[in-house]
Amino acid sequence: MRRSALLSLLLLAACPTPSILKAQATPDTPPLGQLDPTRSIENPVLFSSFHQPLPEQYIWSRENKPEGSDNDEGKPAAVRYFRVHVHLDTVPQEATLYLAGPGSANVFINGGLAGQFTRDRYSRLKSQVFALSIAKLLQPGDNDIGIEASRGSELVAKIVPASPGVLAPALLISGPGWKVSTEHVKGWEAANFDDSSWPAVIARGGIESNIDFLQWNDDAGLYDWPGYEGVSPFLAHTYLGAVTVHDFYYGHSVMMFADTLSRQGYDPDPAHEFYVTLPPEGRYTMDDEVPYITLDFGREVTGRLQLISDSDGPITVSIAYGESLGEVNDEPYLGVDLLHLPPHGAGVGPKSAFRYARVRFLAGPHILRFKTIRLEDIYYPVHYQGSFESSDPLLNRIWETGAYTSHLCMQDDIWDAPKRDRGRWMGDTDVSGRVIDDVFADQFLIEDTLTRLIGPLPIKEHVNGIPGYSSYWFTELEHYYLHTGRKEYLSSMHDQIVGLLRFMDQDFDAQNNFINHTNEWLYVDWALDLNGATAETRAATTLEYVRAYRAGVRLLQELGDTQNADHFTQRADQLAKASQSAQFANGSFGPRWQTNAMAIISGVATTDQYASIWQNVLSNVGKPTWRPDVISPYYGSYVLDALARTGHRDAALAWIREYWGGMIKEGATSFWEAYDPAWPKDDPHVDLQADDTAGYRISLAHGWSSAPAWWLMEQVLGIYPTAAGFKETTIRPELADLDWARGAEPTPHGLIKVDMHKEGKGKENQALRATIDIPEGVEATILFPVKSGTDHIQVNGTSTSGTPTENGSRLSLHLTPGHYEIRE
């Protein structure tokens, strides 16, 4: 502890105070079933129920995007000159002009320079809010506003008849009534300048009117814009207090009742308001004297920090977030951001994902009083319909963490991660979408994400600009259709299915060699030689294409398009044959886990090749890796799938415990973008490697890492649809080394439930007892494990014959809707 903090603590300890801030240890992981704080909310508060989107619009000239951004080094900055007129019957006592978007701007009011702004080009906040008090510059009657803007993004502006930070009906907003010029004309900013020949701006709609405005952290800097929520109306929110105050520094201040911040969710305690004293002049002059607190919310969360002032004067604080303590201490992803609170007003920090939030108290009255400092948790309201629980507590936590990770990524569409990139990526959605299908049975967000990822016709580029990601659009669409039976949505995608398959087919020459004709970025995984224009990447991408073609064929057959289905069946067979010839040698498809896994799940590898692939490559899964063999949790999903298909579910379970369980043991409350058990553990976050970088930029909540949640349901409970909407279903229970497991799978007809236990002592004498519930509308084939030579099992107390399968290790029985007690 710093000396000044120790002195402050000693002084406080000598005073008869009702509550003194105390440091607390990092809490344990929340109990099972309580990781997701929104899980028990029955009546979500949707943003559409209390927020009307703001009317001010993004504007620019007729170019789609501003030119000469901060990243365009060596290019002249694109300058635009905006003008607008506003008539005022009277001049308000207070007036504030707000401006955001451009990298720099000069503001002119009635011909005079009112202010100059320049965005911090090193900040990750792409749109920073500039506020300017302008009441003294306005006049009764007509007023002319001119803005010279350059760099950055489109401009948004408004004038509010209030002091900075106070929300009030606007006097002026940016919109189609503004004029713009790309040419500098002498005197353009003058009050009497004739702008009648200037063209009107292009107005893109209200800044909260389009879901695309809310992606990619593009609006992260608008947190300081009065009235801005920046959240889709279908999302919900709730308030949570910190689990603990993890860290603090008094400086020369006094803090009181900070322990109440760990109890303030919806109900701040008016009798114990948290307060901080500042020097008599109301601000600190030395940065290392500024007091702060660090709040720990006990788990990864998606949302923003909310502060409600009870002070008579304005307050300035800074906010920093971190998914780990290292990040919040050393390198917050969104930086350290200022927040200005008006007297007795409220404010929020940027939207992001974090566990820790640090607040530094910079300026204000001598005593800063806060009704609360709490988390506004922003989430997509869903119910946990699917479930999994077993005799292994670690697997139970892994399943819950995978489900929670995917839920964190369900925001304004399905994102790769709620911290970075906060955008739609198809590869990520192929994994997290599978979890969402199995656990939440969501329809709206899945369909909206898939529709926006494919885009309108004609198709002119790969999904996300990555050939392999085009392939995953088909595989998630097929998985979704099998789980929902949504024929009307599938029909609406028919032309996109055909169009994307034809577009992908351009990437092969006449000999079926992958040539990347579209010349886009090749990416399979972050391991060496698996991204970029390498032979390994081309080979694995071809396998991904085969998998996609076959998924596309099955979808076209569902739609009755036999002509296209037959054509792409032929293409899939041709590509598979070419891959076999070019890639399979010495008993495997090369040395990499990723390529061999994709060869198996694409169907390119034949069943008689499984044994050699296992012996030569996949038996090494879980063994220590070296840098070229590093695998991301993303491609781990396909490795788990391949292990199951080749009959090595026990090895897959062992790897789940080691790999995803390793993250849990290192403190994960959501699964990380990258991981390797061999990486250093002193500060795990700083040593993570992905995205051609390493460190705190890497996400600790990434949807592509959630695979065990779907795998445990589909491979241990064994539930998987074989016809659209689960009308036909296979149930293949597999306990492996577990003593028991139970869970449920949501279907359009209700839950399929499986509950199974081992009976008997000793491995050789153990048998399976299962309880299975099949809802109306579902026909199921159960593949029940038996001892070799068994041809009857007990079903609801009656000896029932079945068809031997899997070399006599299982019996196949047909089950109609009902409740079943089954044992050997």
Pick from 29-38, 678-687, 717-726: least confident? 29-38
- Residue 68 pLDDT > 60, yes or no? no
Q: Is the pTM of this model over 0.75?
A: yes
Predicted pLDDT at 80: 95
Predicted pLDDT at 341: 96
Predicted pLDDT at 52: 96
Band of residue 233 on the pLDDT scale cut at 50, 70, 90: very high
- Residue 288 pLDDT > 80, yes or no? no
DSSP 706-726: -HHHHHIIIIIS-EEESSGGG
Which amino acid would we find at residue 416? D
Spatial separation of the C-alpha atoms in residues 334 and 419, rounded to whole Å: 9
Spatial separation of the C-alpha atoms in residues 296 and 577, rounded to whole Å: 55
Spatial separation of the C-alpha atoms in residues 815 and 824, rounded to whole Å: 16
Residue 676: phi and psi, rounded to 5, are: -150, 130
Predicted pLDDT at 720: 97
Listed in sequence order, the residues at least 6 apart from 766 whose beta carbon sits closer than 8 Å to its beta carbon are 758, 759, 760
How many Cβ atoms sit within 10 Å of the Cβ of residue 814? 10
Query: 768-812 pLDDT, tens per residue?
Result: 999 999 999 999 999 999 999 999 999 999 999 999 999 999 999
Residue 8: which of 21, 19, 18 has the closest Cα?
21
Band of residue 77 on the pLDDT scale cut at 50, 70, 90: low
Residue 398: which of 40, 720, 652, 670 has the closest Cα?
670
- What is the dihedral sign for C-alpha 690, 696, 697, 703? positive
Predicted pLDDT at 65: 55
Band of residue 185 on the pLDDT scale cut at 50, 70, 90: very high
Which amino acid would we find at residue 162? A
Query: 528-539 pLDDT, tens per residue?
Result: 899 999 999 999
Residues in a beta bridge with 180: 82
Query: 624-665 pLDDT, tens per residue?
Result: 877 667 899 999 999 999 999 999 999 999 999 999 999 999
Spatial separation of the C-alpha atoms in residues 412 and 473, rounded to whole Å: 19
**Surface-to-core class of residue 300, CB atoms within 10 Å of its CB (0-12 exposed, 13-18 middle, 19+ buried):** buried
How many Cβ atoms sit within 10 Å of the Cβ of residue 771? 15
Q: Which pair of tokens denotes residue 739?
A: 């003593």
Cα 773–chain centre separation: 34
Residue 335: which of 252, 419, 260 has the closest Cα?
419
- Share the mean pLDDT of the chain: 92
What is the percent of the chain with per-residue pLDDT over 90, rounded to a whole number?
Answer: 84
Of 279 and 21, the structure prediction assigns the larger pLDDT to 279
Residues composing the chain: 824
Predicted pLDDT at 494: 98
Which amino acid would we find at residue 719? I
Listed in sequence order, the residues at least 6 apart from 764 whose beta carbon sits closer than 8 Å to its beta carbon are none
Q: Could you check whether the bond before residue 458 is cis, i.e. omega within 30 degrees of 0?
A: yes
Predicted pLDDT at 766: 84
3-state helix, strand, coil split of the chain in percent (to 5) is 30, 30, 40
Residue 766: phi and psi, rounded to 5, are: -80, 145
Predicted pLDDT at 264: 62
Q: If you average pLDDT over residues 584-600, what whole number do you get?
A: 97
Band of residue 7 on the pLDDT scale cut at 50, 70, 90: very low
- Residue 306 pLDDT > 90, yes or no? yes
Band of residue 8 on the pLDDT scale cut at 50, 70, 90: very low
Predicted pLDDT at 209: 97
Predicted pLDDT at 630: 87
Predicted pLDDT at 760: 80
Pick from 242-256, 323-337, 391-405: least confident? 242-256
Spatial separation of the C-alpha atoms in residues 619 and 685, rounded to whole Å: 29
Could you tell me whether strands 236-240 and 367-379 are parallel, antiparallel, or unpaired per DSSP bridges? Answer: antiparallel
